[in-house]
Structure 1
Amino acid sequence: MQVFTDIGGLIIDMDGVLWHGDQALPGLEAFFATLRELQLPFVLATNNASITAEQYVGKLSAMRVEIGRREILTSGMATALYLSERYPASHTRVYAIGGAGLRQPLRDKGFVLLEEHDPGPADLVVSGLDKTLNWDKLCNAALHIQAGAGFYGSNGDVTLPSERGFLPGNGATLAALTAATGVMPITIGKPAPIIYQQALALLGQAPERVIAIGDRLDTDILGAVRTGIRSVLVLSGISREEDIPRLDYAPTWVMRDIRELTEALRR
């Protein structure tokens, strides 16, 4: 296996890489202990916008791994930052489908969030993974989009790995709204390079000195390729090694899981 060289930081996916649902994957504690021992900075960058950075810190703490809030970047946080750079937040009304992981970053940036009973009009519809998704939310979002609201998705993942198997992701919600409105959303998370570029800024590193780790070829790896950074595909989540020859892009390395990655980092 090729030896890692000139690493200034890591951008690490979470679902399918560190855990399945609430079940930590083998080698989790040793992996983070190695990162701390090597003084290797990292950003945990996830397309999952269902929970907040603070909740991710708590989830990892329950798995006996301590990290700081500044080491987390969710697609909800990335979406709020992206939109705040393009819209006057205090004058922009947002209808958001999603949990606290999407809604709180939007509030933190000063956006006005419409409630379910508020008829609008909305300037933007923003959708993230929503585990309480229902018919009324889909109807409200569709009506706002049909009335001219801008349509954004925190990410386009159609599935979400869990201890039960692969569940519908935010991409499934976006597909339903696109079918109902004929409007395609702008997505902020991987494979768009936006979230990776924001993570690079947090690390303070040039793209050539950073490695992305992920379990999905169509999001984690493609996003890394589009951003110009090296990547590791771990086979503990969605994608399989036999999927690679069918694509016109590829990860720099393929590894079984974070245990193999830990061994490689220690060489």
Structure 2
Amino acid sequence: MGYQAYFIDLDGTTYKGTTTIPAAARFVQQIQKLDKKIMFVTNNSTRTPEFVADNLKTNHNIDVDQSNIYTTALATADYLDQYADHQHRKVYVIGEIGLKNALLANGFTFDEDNPDYVVVGLDSDVTYHKFELAVLAVRNGATFIGTNADSNLPNERGMVPGAGSLVKLVEYATQRQPIMIGKPEKIIMQMALNKIGLTQNQVVMVGDNYHTDIAAGINVGMDTLIVYSGLSKRIDVEKEKILPTYQVDTLDEWDFSKH
């Protein structure tokens, strides 16, 4: 039987910025030929699933649709949907269109003054005023949610601040610990499993970053496949207490007949 589905990271695993990783496209095409499920699981909360799927199709030769994309924005909205009753669905958001659309789609409304939840994700237009509203709301009792803990993001200029840096500012100003959704936390993995309708022993997590992708798989009890096409290096991973289930230098090395 083997694995019924593959959860796959994006940047560093499927592509590197705007650069295609050809082995990733071949890997995905082989999964599709075998009629197994695919879910791209990403900490990026700024993009809509439609945007991500279109980018994969247009620029990286990977033919998937929005149903194959699971972002921290979707995971955050799904997580809140589990716990919010009909009377408590007001949210204040620091974030971009991907996060806001996901929350709206799940029936949440935006409220700056008296929200039930404060959700902090990446926002390239963040201002002091936005932080002020978030901090005041959390200090007044709103539940504090962070999309993910990534301290930095790589772009053409270098390592710029990530969503985790914004979350940390609110955490410092409120002295409250947020509920974190994205990798390496297991919440995003549990939400993705719920969406795809499988259990963790039926899925393998594929990624290039030990401390996010692989750790997320380990934290939820899932087998993991690290590919050394991105951030983590084999020499560093070998020092970790818990090793990935599988390690490859390129996704072309993966033998589907054995898994």
For normalisation by structure 1, the TM-score amounts to 0.88
List structure 1 runs of 4+ shifted beyond 6 angstroms: none
Match of 2:189 among 187, 193, 196: 196
Q: Following the alignment from structure 1 to structure 2, what is the Cα–Cα distance between the partners of residues 109 and 24?
A: 33
SS at match of 1:94: strand
Unaligned runs of 5+ in 2: none
Report whether the alignment pairs 1:255 with 2:252. Answer: no
Report whether the alignment pairs 1:9 with 2:13. Answer: no
2:35 is aligned to: 39
The code of the aligned residue for 1:175 comes to: K
Report whether the alignment pairs 1:72 with 2:75. Answer: no
State how 1:1-267 maps to structure 2 within 5 Å.
6-63=2-59, 64-88=61-85, 91-114=88-111, 118=112, 120-261=113-254, 264-265=255-256
Unaligned runs of 5+ in 1: none
Q: Following the alignment from structure 2 to structure 1, what is the Cα–Cα distance between the partners of residues 19 and 132?
A: 34
Contact 1:89 1:110 in 2 (8 A): no
Deviations 1:77-105 (A, max 9, x none): 01101101111256422111111111111
Aligned-residue sequence identity (percent) comes to 32
Q: Following the alignment from structure 1 to structure 2, what is the Cα–Cα distance between the partners of residues 180 and 168?
A: 18
Shift of 1:162: 3.4
SS at match of 1:198: helix
Shift of 1:234: 1.7
Shift of 1:180: 1.7
The 3 A distance-change label for structure 1 pair 244 and 19 is same
Tell me how many residue pairs correspond in the alignment.
257
Higher relative contact order (CA 8 A, sep 6+): 1
Shift of 1:161: 3.4
The 3 A distance-change label for structure 1 pair 213 and 123 is same
Contact 2:6 2:39 in 1 (8 A): yes
The 3 A distance-change label for structure 1 pair 86 and 222 is same
The 3 A distance-change label for structure 1 pair 52 and 150 is same
Q: Following the alignment from structure 2 to structure 1, what is the Cα–Cα distance between the partners of residues 15 and 135?
A: 33
Q: Following the alignment from structure 1 to structure 2, what is the Cα–Cα distance between the partners of residues 102 and 13?
A: 18
- Higher mean alpha-carbon deviation, 76-85 vs 126-135, is at 126-135
Q: Following the alignment from structure 1 to structure 2, what is the Cα–Cα distance between the partners of residues 132 and 143?
A: 19
